[in-house]
């Protein structure tokens, strides 16, 4: 009976005490973690973008709106893409240019756009407005 109890003590029901297997499992786990970290580091992060609708107001009803739009679209920045545009009546025969753009938030802001657009003082009134949405 004493011999049977000794045999039961030698049986490991929950795993092995063999250190080689534990070291091998740790190596495999470390390798997988390293591969995961490398893969995650290569993946590009999320880029925040905004869709902006700009209202560009001319000086008067004699302003060349096609030239004004050409000037606005001539603004090129990293992270800026111009979209559709249209002329919207304001009153008394005056129309404003409404133009859409998409910007990367970290690269281009509305302040920079407004500053660049108002540099075309022959065409653009300083009372330019803009709305921002996504």
SS (H, E, C) the chain: CHHHHHHHHHCCCCCCCCHHHHHHHHHHHHHHHHHHHHHHHHCCCCCCEEEEEEEECECCCCCCHHHHHHHHHCCCCCCEEEEEEEEEEEECCEEEEEEEEEEECCCCCHHHHHHHHCCCCCCECCCCEEEEEC
Domain ranges of the chain: 49-126
Residue 130: predicted pLDDT = 46
The pTM for the full model equals 0.60
Q: Over its length of 134 residues, how does the chain's per-residue pLDDT go in tens digits? A: 544 444 555 555 555 555 566 788 888 888 888 888 888 777 777 778 999 999 999 888 888 999 999 999 999 999 999 999 999 998 888 899 999 999 998 888 888 888 899 888 888 886 544 444 43
What CATH code is assigned to 49-126? 3.30.70.60
């Amino acid at each position: 009976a004493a011999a049977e109890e000794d045999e039961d003590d030698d049986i490991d029901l929950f795993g092995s005490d063999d250190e080689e297997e534990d070291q091998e499992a740790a190596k495999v786990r470390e390798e997988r973690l390293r591969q995961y970290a490398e893969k995650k580091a290569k993946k590009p992060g999320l880029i925040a973008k905004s869709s902006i609708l700009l209202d560009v107001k001319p000086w008067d009803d004699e302003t060349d709106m096609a030239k004004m739009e050409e000037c606005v679209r001539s603004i090129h920045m990293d992270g800026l893409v111009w979209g559709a545009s249209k002329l919207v009546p304001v009153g008394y025969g005056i129309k404003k240019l409404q133009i859409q753009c998409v910007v990367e938030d970290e690269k281009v802001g509305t302040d920079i756009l407004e500053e660049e657009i108002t540099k075309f003082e022959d065409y653009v009134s300083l009372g330019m407005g803009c709305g921002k949405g996504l």
